[in-house]
Chain A
Amino acid sequence: MSIFEYNGSAVVAMVGKNCFAIASDRRLGVQLQTVATDFQRVFKIHGKLYLGLSGLATDAQTLYQRLVFKHKLYQLREERDMKPETFASLVSALLYEKRFGPYFCQPIIAGLGEDNEPFICTMDCIGAKELAKDFVVSGTASESLYGACESMYKPNMEPEELFETISQALLSSVDRDCLSGWGGYVLVVTPTEVQERVLKGRMD
Chain B
Amino acid sequence: MSRRYDSRTTIFSPEGRLYQVEYAMEAIGNAGSALGILASDGVVLVGEKKVTSKLLQASRSAEKMYKVDSHLACAVAGIMSDANILINTARLHAQRYALSYQEPIPVEQLVQSLCDTKQGYTQFGGLRPFGVSFLFAGWDRTHGFQLYMSDPSGNYGGWKAAAVGANSQAAQSMLKQDYRDGMTREEAVALALKVLSKTMDSTSLTAEKLELAEVFLQPGTGEVQYQLCSPDAMGKLLAKAGLTQPAPEA
Which A residues contact B (CB, under 8 angstroms)? 65-66, 68-69, 72-73, 76-77, 79
Question: Contacts A65-B99, A65-B102, A66-B99 given: A72-B69 contact, CB under 8 Å?
Answer: yes
Size bracket of the B interface: 10 to 19
Contacts of B61 in A (CB 8 A): 79
Contacts of B91 in A (CB 8 A): 73, 76-77
Contacts of B96 in A (CB 8 A): 69
Measured CB to CB, the closest approach of chain A to B103, in angstroms, equals 12
Q: How far is the CA of A73 from the CA of B99 in the complex (A)?
A: 12
Contacts of B60 in A (CB 8 A): 79
Q: Is the CB of B99 within 8 A of A76?
A: no
Judge if B80 is at the interface, Cβ distance under 8 Å. no
Contacts of B92 in A (CB 8 A): 73
Most buried by A among B69, B91, B95, B102: B95
Q: How far is the CA of A69 from the CA of B102 in the complex (A)?
A: 10
Q: How far is the CA of A76 from the CA of B61 in the complex (A)?
A: 11
Q: Is the CB of B67 within 8 A of A76?
A: yes
Measured CB to CB, the closest approach of chain A to B54, in angstroms, equals 24
Measured CB to CB, the closest approach of chain A to B225, in angstroms, equals 15
**Closest partner residue, chain A, to B94 (CB atom):** A72
Measured CB to CB, the closest approach of chain A to B100, in angstroms, equals 9
Q: How far is the CA of A119 from the CA of B69 in the complex (A)?
A: 28
The 7 A-B residue pairs whose C-beta atoms are closest, nearest first, are A69-B95, A69-B99, A76-B91, A72-B95, A79-B61, A65-B99, A73-B95
**Closest partner residue, chain A, to B62 (CB atom):** A79
Contacts of B69 in A (CB 8 A): 72, 76
Contacts of A72 in B (CB 8 A): 69-70, 95, 98
Measured CB to CB, the closest approach of chain B to A40, in angstroms, equals 14
Question: Contacts A76-B91, A79-B60 given: A69-B98 contact, CB under 8 Å?
Answer: yes
Q: How far is the CA of A43 from the CA of B99 in the complex (A)?
A: 16
Contacts of A73 in B (CB 8 A): 91-92, 95
Measured CB to CB, the closest approach of chain A to B158, in angstroms, equals 24
Contacts of A66 in B (CB 8 A): 99
**Closest partner residue, chain A, to B61 (CB atom):** A79
**Closest partner residue, chain A, to B88 (CB atom):** A77
Q: How far is the CA of A152 from the CA of B173 in the complex (A)?
A: 73
Q: How far is the CA of A66 from the CA of B92 in the complex (A)?
A: 12
Contacts of A65 in B (CB 8 A): 99, 102
Q: How far is the CA of A79 from the CA of B102 in the complex (A)?
A: 23
Q: List 6 A-B contacts (CB under 8 A).
A: A65-B99, A65-B102, A68-B98, A69-B95, A72-B95, A72-B98
Contacts of A79 in B (CB 8 A): 60-61
Q: How far is the CA of A68 from the CA of B98 in the complex (A)?
A: 10
**Closest partner residue, chain A, to B68 (CB atom):** A76
**Closest partner residue, chain B, to A72 (CB atom):** B95
**Closest partner residue, chain B, to A62 (CB atom):** B99
